[in-house]
């Protein structure tokens, strides 16, 4: 069974890049009849906050990305310790005693010589007596994973294709701090093994991490998951944008963006497939990492807003009823939704229906015309199609047509020069309000 996971750290709110990663993990699992898991990476006790855990759950729920199960790394330390002890016993994890200042000096010397700042493995040359002496002096070691330099690290990435790294050019990664706390790399690999994760979907900035973790899977005697590293999002200006790191669901919700619009856009950013206002079933059916390219994916809020409007114009009343003003029924929703860019804007049009409205300036001819219109409106049948009955009669009696026929009526009845189809709007306004507005009361 296909198993994917979304593994955010609860040190802040999800941003649009996180949301895209979560969505793609969710869609890949659903497209293959698999499971989508949420893993809260809260090993950093100082920075992790419960309010962000709650926010992550809330955001995923609003987006419709409900996980099949949830785990928390802070509850799995015994598991990490067992794997850690086994790797130490096997010689794949070792203690290192350099201070941060000493490591920084080593890096600067190497860079000054034009060499890559790769850790020199000095800790591996220490004798037992030397380690004992260092610890007697109060120096507590941090722990590194020892890379195997015997062969290159290779894998076939689902998006980037064949990948190759030379472990000789890479530092043995620190997996545990001197205070005993865990860094990201090893617990993540352990969890992927224990949770049965088959596919890891994440940004291309993790490619080098994957190379390191592949050796961790091998050291644990576990088959690695497949990896898909996606191109990072860029802003509408065509370059990496810090703004994308600040755009979260609170922003989109405040703008009136529907979850379906976010799913529809982010599902296809980075592919050659058109971004369309289609339902989730169609999005999932066409979701395939083979469709993704390596070029940066451009996120444009204007495109999202346009897509949102298209989706909004097809939403049935039942999906929005709990967000509409009191008294606004399906007929009213169907009348105003073609003119909306967000559901919240429906309240403005409902205000036009119920009134009061501002009376626009009208010249003497239009005032006389509206007086005639009020007399006609009092005699037409309001049970069927009052707008066409009204305008048909006025066209015959006044000789007006086109803009001169329709615009004064719209202005008097709505206080605006534009808006929803008057044939749908006038029955909602109703006979009594319409007569009062046509007589400019």
The answer to whether 395 is annotated as binding is no
DSSP string, 393-410: HHHHHH---THHHHHHHH
d(CA 21, CA 203): 8
Neighbours of 319 (CB within 10 A): 13
Binding-site members for ATP are 242
Binding-site members are 242
């Amino acid at each position: 069974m296909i198993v994917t996971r979304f593994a955010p750290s609860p040190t802040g709110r999800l941003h649009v890049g996180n949301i895209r990663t979560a969505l793609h993990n969710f869609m890949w699992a659903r497209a293959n009849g698999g499971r989508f898991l949420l893993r809260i990476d809260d090993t950093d006790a100082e920075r992790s906050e419960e309010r962000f855990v709650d926010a992550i759950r809330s955001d995923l729920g609003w987006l419709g990305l409900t996980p099949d199960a949830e785990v928390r790394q802070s509850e799995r330390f015994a598991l990490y310790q067992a794997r850690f002890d086994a790797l130490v016993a096997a010689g794949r994890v070792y203690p290192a005693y350099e201070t941060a200042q000493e490591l920084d000096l080593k890096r600067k010397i190497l860079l000054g010589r034009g060499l890559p700042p790769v850790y020199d493995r000095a800790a591996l040359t220490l004798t037992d007596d030397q380690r004992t002496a260092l610890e007697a002096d109060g120096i507590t070691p941090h722990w590194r994973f020892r890379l195997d330099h015997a062969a290159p690290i290779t894998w076939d990435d689902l998006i980037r294709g064949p990948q190759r790294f030379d472990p000789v050019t890479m530092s043995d990664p620190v997996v545990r701090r001197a205070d005993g706390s865990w860094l990201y790399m090893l617990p993540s690999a352990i969890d992927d093994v224990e949770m049965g994760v088959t596919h890891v979907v994440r940004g291309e900035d993790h490619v080098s991490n994957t190379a390191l973790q592949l050796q961790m899977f091998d050291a644990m005697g576990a088959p690695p998951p497949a990896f898909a590293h996606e191109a990072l999002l860029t802003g509408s200006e065509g370059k990496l944008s810090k703004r994308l790191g600040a755009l979260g669901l609170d922003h989109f919700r405040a703008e009136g963006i529907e979850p379906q619009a976010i799913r529809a856009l982010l599902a296809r950013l980075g592919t050659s497939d058109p971004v369309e206002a289609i339902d989730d079933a169609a999005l999932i059916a066409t979701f395939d990492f083979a469709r993704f390219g390596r070029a940066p994916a451009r996120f444009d809020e204007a495109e999202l807003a346009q897509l949102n409007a298209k989706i909004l114009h097809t939403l049935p009343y039942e999906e929005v009823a709990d967000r509409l003003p009191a008294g606004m029924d399906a007929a009213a929703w169907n009348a105003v939704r073609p003119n909306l860019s967000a559901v919240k804007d429906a309240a403005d049009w409902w205000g036009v229906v119920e009134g009061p409205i501002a009376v626009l300036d009208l010249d003497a001819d239009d005032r006389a015309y509206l007086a005639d219109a009020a007399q006609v409106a009092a005699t037409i049948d309001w049970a069927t199609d009052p707008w066409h009955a009204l305008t048909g009669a006025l066209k015959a009696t006044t000789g007006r047509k086109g803009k001169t026929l329709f615009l004064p009526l719209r202005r008097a009845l709505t206080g605006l020069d534009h808006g929803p189809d008057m044939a749908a709007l006038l029955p909602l306004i109703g006979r009594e309000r319409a007569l009062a507005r046509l007589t400019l009361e």
